[in-house]
Amino acid sequence: MPLPVCAVLDNIRSLYNVGSIFRTADAAGVERLILCGITAAPQPFLGKASLALRKTALGADERVAWEQSRNGVAALARLRLAGYRVAAIETGEGAVDLFDWQPEFPLAVVFGNEVEGVSPAMLDMCDVRVSLPMHGIKRSLNVATAAGVVFYELLRRQRLVVQSPV
């Protein structure tokens, strides 16, 4: 059963990060990826850049459903109309700790640019900001690593929902 989660990648610069997110999305059963702004899409071999994404994805780019949307705000508006709740994976004021958060499915999770984070326009479209607990001196994780943590926490939560008697 697919995880009722759509991951929205907002201007991810690194092809290695995009490929890694494809691979982790496949492993966790994420429904699909929406690649927004400058986020690269899988392409037939077009040189070193394309090779980086495909090499890191290890075939998951051919298995995970994906779509490209240059306009991330429009993509989030379509998801909302389809009944998705929207969560930005982002630090900042008012962010809820990942382990305290009570996600509602179906869910769209937004991951932002490696330097700038989720764009302000996309943040305005989100129902909640969710942060990962950070106990070291660094205040953030690599976006692909953060996606893996979030996907597997959501998979764990979804299993609890499916397994619990009503």
The CATH number of the domain holding residue 57 is 3.40.1280.10
* CA separation for the pair 5, 11 (Å, rounded): 19
What residues form DSSP beta bridges with 153? none
**Tokens (6 digits) for 81:** 């109309």
Asked, for residue 10, whether it belongs to a domain, the answer is yes
Q: Residue 60 — very low, low, confident or very high, per pLDDT cuts 50/70/90?
A: confident
CB contact at 8 A, 118 and 36: no
Asked, for residue 38, whether it belongs to a domain, the answer is yes
* CA separation for the pair 142, 156 (Å, rounded): 21
Asked, for residue 165, whether it belongs to a domain, the answer is no
Q: What residue ranges in 37-83 does DSSP mark as E strands?
A: 65-69
For the chain, give the percent of residues with pLDDT over 70: 91
* Full residue range of the structural domain in which residue 57 is found: 3-160
User: For the chain, how far is it from start to end, CA to CA, in angstroms?
Assistant: 19
Give the pTM. 0.91
Q: Residue 43 — very low, low, confident or very high, per pLDDT cuts 50/70/90?
A: confident
Looking at the 3D structure of the chain, how many domains does it have? 1
What does the CA dihedral 138, 29, 158, 105 come to, rounded to 10 degrees?
90
